[in-house]
Amino acid sequence: MYEHLTTLYENLATLLEAEPELDAQRILRIVRPSVRLMVGSKNPSSYPLGASRLGGIPDVPPQFVWPYWQPRPDETDCCGAPLKSLEPIPLNFIAQLDLSAIPQIDEAMPTSGWLYFFYDLLGQPWGTDPHEADRFRVIYVNCSRNTLSPAEKPEEIDPEFDTGDNWDLVPSVELTLPDEYIGFEEYESPRYFAYQRLAAQLTYQGKHPSRFLGHADLVQSPLENLGNPFETEEDASLDISEEEVDELLAQIRRGELQFEDSHHERIHALENDLYPWRLLLQIDGVASDETVFWNDEGRLFFMIRKDDLLAGRFDRVWLNLQTT
């Protein structure tokens, strides 16, 4: 375990002792570390090259290509007005993360390089239609910092639909639980309230939360089972029941089954077929100075399948926009 997580898990163990209604082993099974990203100062006068930021202009290597999306004939902007042209439209830059400066909490995540997040602020898609796949993008680049320079923003970007300014992103590590662990607690039962108390003690409770990895701070429905816009016939043919998964995981906890055993493929199916998606980045639509970035102060969730995270396939990220 990473050293900076040890204290957090020790604190979790202490908190669980005070909540006897909760099954500690089940909590440990679902808790996930997360890097909370506090939105700091706006347009800082001294900004290190390549530093993590929200909005503004990304710092990129010379070969970087700004991503565009291709409108369809019936496309409209976020206000419902028809688009003026069907020419390719540049995506808007949302954030860049310097992975060398982000606390490491997941072995699957690279320890160096940059992640760049883009989204179509003109149309502000919800991420509910497979045809929206080109309207958001995550690009990973691993290069020397001295090769970076501020990108040239495409002239076609409408300033009315852009982040414009930039804000510091200040990271700190915490543990997260699902907003509501379905099937774990009866609504408004003692166990339900114990679960809510524990979650509130582990995780930042302030306004406008943004985070990297961990469990999402939901506005609407859970995200882990978004479906699979990249599904293949092989993916769809996996046959596994939730009851079988629970039994396999119980065997692992009892030490009766190892991941190397023949059941590995079915355990793998739990992670990648029943609950395939993991939060990569959550960005709130309101900055610390109450600047609103997109649709009704909504929240963007960039989600990635665990297999794709392990393979570094950030090009297969999916997005979901949720608002109140």
pLDDT tens, position by position, 76-124:
888 888 888 889 999 999 999 999 999 999 999 999 999 999 999 988 8
| Residue 290 pLDDT | 60
Query: What H or E segment, with its residue span, contains residue 198?
Result: helix 190-202
- φ, ψ dihedrals at 235, nearest 5°: -60, -45
Cross-sheet strand order for the sheet of 136-141: 136-141, 114-119, 92-98, 53-55, 166-176, 32-42, 211-212, 277-284, 299-305, 318-322
Per-residue confidence (pLDDT) for residue 301, from 0 to 100: 94
Q: Could you give the percent of the chain with pLDDT greater than 90?
A: 40
Residue with tokens 């406008």: 208
Q: Check: CB of residue 178 under 8 Å from CB of residue 222.
A: yes
Strand partners, 132: none
pLDDT tens-digit series, residues 210-258: 899 999 888 876 665 554 444 444 444 445 555 665 565 555 545 555 5
- Comparing 12-26, 260-274, 302-316, the range with the smallest average pLDDT is 260-274
Q: Any idea what DSSP says for residue 286?
A: B
pTM here is 0.83
In terms of pLDDT, which residue wins out, 274 or 83?
83
Stretch among 104-108, 109-113, 265-269, 288-292 having the lowest mean pLDDT: 265-269
Which one has a higher pLDDT value, 224 or 323? 323
What's residue 28's pLDDT? 87
Separation between Cα atoms, residue 122 and residue 79, nearest integer Å: 9
* Residue type for position 170: V
- Please determine, for residue 71, whether its predicted confidence score (pLDDT) is greater than 80: yes
Least confident window among 114-128, 260-274, 296-310: 260-274
Q: Where are the domains of the chain?
A: 3-227+276-322
For residue 306, the model assigns a pLDDT of 84
pLDDT tens for residues 139-151?
999 999 999 999 9
In angstroms, how far is CA 35 from the centroid of its own chain?
10
Average pLDDT (265-287) is 67
Contact 302, 223 (CB under 8 A): no
pLDDT, residue 263, reads 47
- Look up residue 102 and give its DSSP letter: S
Mean pLDDT calculated for residue range 32-50: 84
pLDDT, one tens digit per residue, over 160-195 is 777 778 888 999 999 999 876 544 556 678 888 899
Provide the angle, in degrees to the nearest 10, between the axes of the packed helices 190-202 and 3-17.
Answer: 150
CATH fold for domain 3-227+276-322 = Hypothetical protein YwqG fold (2.30.320)
Segment 273-287 shows an average pLDDT of 77
Phi, psi of 242 (to 5 degrees): -65, -35
